[in-house]
Chains A and B, each alone.
Chain A
């Protein structure tokens, strides 16, 4: 469980990364196949909405700085590499605690800002938990045979249990894409429900791997089924597919979240992951969330960026905001 009282820094802001802090968890519903079948997603219209949004919303000056700081607070700072080591994870965690230079945060009046979480593979959980001790930053672990999710099902469930036991407070599971591609919504629902069960108190993010689902309609349907089965978050991608987070996919998924909220009263979180590396992109994502879901979702308990290089670009933009001079990457601590 995430707590808010263990912070060792005197300037810590209240951490509210986890949904249970302010929101009741989504308990799920029965699988409603009629609803699933009703879902439509018109690709060209969705693309037009996304293509014109950056021209419809412009965030400048102090507002831009504040929005970028908000983006920082929503980042799941991530390393998911075969060559990860404990010390490399320690460095990443240090960056999560101090994502932006302390002096800059002071200048913005935002000392103590941290990222939303650190996201690692199972084997790196202990290292991350140790490094983040007392920071209030949760550890998220990718799980269930990430990224393909094709290892034996009982092992996938067991992996979740072990990750939770190791101290992960958030579990990013991958769904079986074949259930979507075969139209086997019952199987997807059952799988998701069982994974949610295995997570216990840990929060579960369902990675849909949208780049492999074939159509936006499938993305919308898979989103709904995972929410019905109790997902706390739905997440676009593993970062390992050839196409990862995109604005059209985002629009489809957050509209599904909105529909689910309107039907059930439960707010499910959203995490785009992979391919978001520019500060400008982060602003567009945030404005899309604001427009389609509303301000409540602009908090780390309901929104995360799964990103590794985004933070560096945001730091440069923030420094530019303070100094008026364009910044250089080497001036900012690497994560």
Chain B
């Protein structure tokens, strides 16, 4: 009998051991649809939880973090950062998985919990495909500095922040980034916002909710995307409480014309392939083959070069891209046979001179010429000829040193070059629209990367609304008005940079130095528009 019991016991344990029993905790629900704006994982993943003092400590440990803290003010709230996956669509309407950051203020005060406004932030140009603005605590992520700025400026002061990673970055498998494609990136922004509003209901602090106010901002490429989002949301009948696009290439056609005319901006050799790849995917009219635009040195593979997992410096070193030589230093000439066109074109195709632009600007633009160069001469000549024959009125006015007014900033009527047609289509002047709610455009008038002409042209286009719905902040202007302190602080910071690094190094950092100042200006502006 005992022998039988022993055998039975053994069998029970063995069976139990092999078959297993018990259960396992679950990781939330996964959406079964790829409809636009669908939140994939609910609840979303919290990737960081920082107290107000912890955030201050983290910022202090970062390069320039102490200065950022001083500018943004000590954190009032803690910040929980969530990583969202959501569904959106590509320019060809195919469903695309994308990711975003959701930053939720935490803390017991009414500034940090309960119904709070949302700031949606559009990030700047990124060359690293691993760019993830949710990865705020990972210094090796190329987005961490920008992420820290929006956490410190907005979330730590009571704003819920939604910040999408554009298609082409992080988990996106699109294979390219729809760079300065206004309608497409507006869709991404709106879909991320939809998913984030859903995610807000199931965070660790579900009592912190959307109070209905929506502010939109962004910097550089993100400034453009922010403005495109305002335009698209207005068209869709959705309310944007206020917006603050900053240092963005809004007037794409005029900006590109200026560059082809020889005013080569810092970063042009990076922006060029991002734009041509984007528009070629969207419209198919940029080139038949990459060598139509790009010199033989760089044409092969340039359409799949960016965004990349390879650091930009390595791409330069490996000869995949020139660091600054957009155009040939042996400049070409025009041969349309139309004397007026050829004469003007040849002047614009020539190397920038001090007589035209002054010594420092001429030196800056001159760095855009060299050998080997990125854009082949025949394409540059064709573009310049087109820009003369079908002029962008705003760029022509700037060339002629005329003050911009609403009457002379019109887009080219019918550009014939594919790239110019696409720039024209995506230019924020297109569509005859104006913001219906207050907008602040922040920037600096010596920005060597995204020229301030973009802001000036939009301001001229919307001159009827200037000072009311449309506001311009030039950080480099003589300090005055409600942003005087910020203007003074920016100018002192930049002067310090010039003193410590020298003018030629400092100018390289001008565009990025503006970021926290424009974001604090945006926050102050939003605070005035309830």
Bound together: no
Residues of B within 8 A of A (CB): none
- Chain A positions near chain B (C-beta within 8 angstroms): none
